[in-house]
Amino acid sequence: MPSMNAYLDDFGKVTVDVSRNFFGGRSDSFYITGDRGYSTQLLIVGVEDHSSYIRYNLTCPAGLVFGTSYMVRESHGLAVPLEYRMIVNTKQFNDRFFYNGDDLGATYHWTHTDFALWAPTAVSVILRIRNRGTTETYPMTRGDKGVWRRRVIANLKYATYTYIVERNGEIVECIDPYGISSIGNGRESAVIDLDEITKIPDYPLEEITGTDAVIYEASVRDMTSSSITGTKTHGTYLALCEEGTSYEGMPTGLSYLASLGVTHVQLMPVMDFITVDEFHTEQGYNWGYDPMQFITPEGSYSSDPDDPYARVRELRTLVTKMHKAGLRVNLDVVFNHVYNVETSSFHAVLPFYYFRYNSSGFLSNGTYCGNDFASEKPMVRKFILDAVRKIMSIYAIDGMRFDLMGILDTETMNKVRETAQSVKPSAMIYGEGWDMPTILDGARKASINNQDKMPGIGHFNDFFRDMIKGKTSDDQKYVKGYATGDLGLSFGTLSALCGNTLGDPYYRRFDSPEKSINAIETHDNSTAWDKMHACCSNEDRNIRAKRLKIMIACTMVAQGVPFIHAGFEFGGTKADNSNSYNAGDNINQMDWRRAVYKKELVEYTKKAITLRRKYRGFRLHFSRQIEKYVRLSVAEGGGIFYEITCSDPGNDSQVLRVIINPGFDDRWYNFEPGWRIAFNENGDEEPGEVSKVRVPGLSLIVCVR
């Protein structure tokens, strides 16, 4: 550590750490000095001995002026800047500096552009603008609530800019936290004329949300990175915009997505991330869960990363193309951490505010990424809400999936839902509600344990996943689920099939089926097929394909919201790589050859999706409906009967009966007259009525009456 550090940790409280390498860490007195000869002594009220330093707790005048530079001098003559630290996390600070305006960032007009930056502890801020080959700097003026402003009279439609911020005794240059776009690798933020973007025509779709949705997760890069995709370019927004592409008769890219029958495509992160060189994408690969700019689209997916308009225009174009194809678009957003605190614009503008710290000033690490975004702080929450509003409005987005949502707080997530639905009433909000070990009271975490505090917000249901497929972590890859051979889980599977909304004797987890996001496989961990390499290693591919069909069908007939990860529908493999976030295109690209080879599975998935969307009984919206209409039981040999009595005049049906046979031998059941088979082991509807039903081994069938 340096010889000495001095921190303003509260109104009237200074903490000084003196290294033992400097006079043994001992100092008899401390003074605070400021502009125009200001000086006053600090009173020592406590001393703490630590192994490498001595900490002095001091009192200071409570009326220190924010925006002023102060130094702390000790008795041997050493002076260091007074850093604003834990004071920025106090209620008094938030009450004094909370700013509720909607003008932060750069607001473009053809005659001028207004710049606004919230930086309450900054001593000075200079705006540096590059425009048409020239560079100019403009001092900004501090205003109310710690907002620095500058209006530049010029047409800055194609200008880029940075902020030069003096704070805590340092001068740093950074991009705009509210930047809408940037040049390559986030070197400078860009002024954007949003009229150029929002004028791209959209194709509004019928509103679909909750249990009526079928979500398909895909990566922009992975969907077209394979050379056999048939697109002109690969791995970009525009490549995924191309229509009519195919491989050996099977549609690829956008056409493939449109052919499946899903309602929503969830794009893995498309907001700017840091670990791929935007100019040399072939040299690196990453899914993008390492955010740099939260509102700026990723440049490695654009046709020209150094053109700030390209990435914005092309992402908007991709969304409108998907809308035209009948697909709604949800974005996977990563508001829980940044790649590196020290290099982030948030830390540059206001150190110690945007992230969680413990009482000793160390970063909370509940994300296991080195930092946790402090969503509970008023201006952090405001930033998230502003970002959600801007992203939804600019790109006509239909919903958001929150990565590590359990890091955020329930109040923020409720306001996120309100904000998103104020832009688009049908907006879906859901995320990973894992209970992460962040420094936040458990009752405030947006975790699955607090689902009752977050109406209308979905959570990935790991119980559903683990019951049906089996445990998914590397150390449990041999553990079987119901569909992979553990028939002892048949009763637990009943709870999963009802979206964990029924009480005793079932396991109740959610107060609404719309909160249960039912995913057998996501981008994380091994694929379902690779999982079976371990837990079903003694079985041939044909048997494993039958097991995969049960998983696919369970996902579609279960109450809740079905979720498919790209490739799940044809037994995709990542060569047993359980964490392929940076494994490259060869591992992660859509394997169109495999899709063609396993075409039967793809067609089966389409039929299962069609079944779900046809019969409303699989899409009940309320727990009380499930309690009233659903009956569950375990049959001989671990089989399952799942019956839904729900009038559906449009399909001339009153009752749906799902039967799962997890054993190898066929089962026969005698039914009363009037039943017909709507979905057999191949996903086909059979003609005529039946009174005796055969359920082949390792299959799921659906009967209707």
Whole-Å CA distances, 657 to 642, 653, 672, 702: 6, 11, 12, 6
Write down the H helix ranges in 246-368.
253-260, 308-324, 345-349
What is the rounded distance in angstroms from the CA atom of residue 316 to the CA atom of residue 376?
30
- Positive or negative, the CA dihedral 663, 666, 672, 674 is positive
Q: Are 399 and 420 in contact (CB under 8 A)?
A: yes
Q: From the candidates 272, 432, 486, 514, which is the catalytic residue?
A: 432
Q: Which of 311, 315, 329, 318 is nearest to 397 (CA)?
A: 329
Largest CA distance in the chain: 98
Q: Is 432 a catalytic residue?
A: yes
The C-alpha angle with vertex 346 and arms to 342 and 352, in degrees rounded to 5, equals 70
Is residue 60 within 8 A of residue 32, CB to CB? The reply is yes
Please tell me the number of Cα atoms within 13 Å of 579 on its side-chain side: 3
Q: Could you give the CA distance from residue 353 to residue 365 in angstroms, rounded to a whole number?
A: 15
Using alpha carbons, select from 355, 375, 426 the residue that is nearest to residue 396: 426
CB 199 within 8 A of CB 192: no
CB-count exposure of residue 58 (10 Å: 0-12, 13-18, 19+): buried
Give the chain's end-to-end CA distance (angstroms, integer). 75
Q: Name 590's Cβ contacts closer than 8 Å, sequence gap at least 6.
A: 222, 223, 224, 225, 226, 229, 252, 256, 566, 567
Helix (H, G, I), strand (E, B) or coil at 587: helix
Kind plus residue range of the DSSP H or E element containing 659? strand 653-661
What does the alpha-carbon distance between residue 703 and residue 686 come to, in Å, rounded to a whole number?
10
SS3 assignment, position 640 = strand
Q: Which of 386, 403, 514, 530 is catalytic?
A: 403
Type of residue at 481:
G
Note the residue count of the chain. 705
- DSSP H helical ranges for 365-409: 378-395
Query: Could you confirm whether 475 is annotated as catalytic?
Result: no
Tokens of 387: 């970002």
Alpha-carbon span 128 to 139, nearest angstrom? 9
Whole-angstrom distance, CA of residue 665 vs CA of residue 661: 8
Bridge-partner residues for 138, per DSSP?
Answer: 127
Report yes or no: 270 and 217 within 8 Å, Cβ to Cβ: no
Measured distance CA(496)–CA(18) in Å, rounded: 57
**Residue-wise over 169-194: b if at least 16 C-beta within 10 A, else e?**
eeebebbbbbbbbbbbbbebbbbbbe
- Are 154 and 132 within 8 A, CB to CB? no
**Three-state helix/strand/coil letters over 529-579:** HHHHHHHCCCCCHHHHHHHHHHHHHHHHHCCCEEEEECCHHHCCCCCCCCC
Catalytic site positions: 403, 432
